[in-house]
Amino acid sequence: MKKNKSSNEQNCVTCAVLQRETGDLKRDIAEMDQHVYLDTLTGLPNRRYFVQSLQSRVERCRRYGDMVIIVLYYFLMSMI
């Protein structure tokens, strides 16, 4: 005859599975967040990250009455 697992053992197994799935879910969410703000090929910040960061810093300057100076450089590189 096969012994049935006790209720406590079944609960522990269920908790372990849920903890692992929760950890996997948190890792997947962190990875998706990273893909939202970083270029997947180069790993560099993208335009969405730039715009959000700029908005956040401008808002902070407005709140504290600081001056905002934005200097943007645009380099056009041509292939020879």
Q: What is the pTM of this model?
A: 0.51
Residue 69: the pLDDT is 84
Q: Is residue 41 part of a domain?
A: yes
Give domain status of residue 34, yes or no: yes
- Residue 11: domain span: 7-64
Helix (H, G, I), strand (E, B) or coil at 49: helix
Q: What's the CA gap between 71 and 80, in Å, rounded?
A: 28
3-class DSSP assignment, residue 6: coil
Burial class (CB in 10 A: 0-12, 13-18, 19+), 46: middle
Look at residue 78 and tell me if it is in a domain: no
Number of compact structural domains in the chain: 1
Specify if 40 maps to a domain.
yes
The tens digit of pLDDT for each residue in 61-71 reads 999 999 888 88
Span 10-65, pLDDT tens digits: 555 555 555 666 777 788 888 887 788 888 888 888 888 888 999 999 999 999 99
Q: How many helices (H) and strands (E) does the chain have?
A: 2, 0
Locus of tokens 């300057």: 61
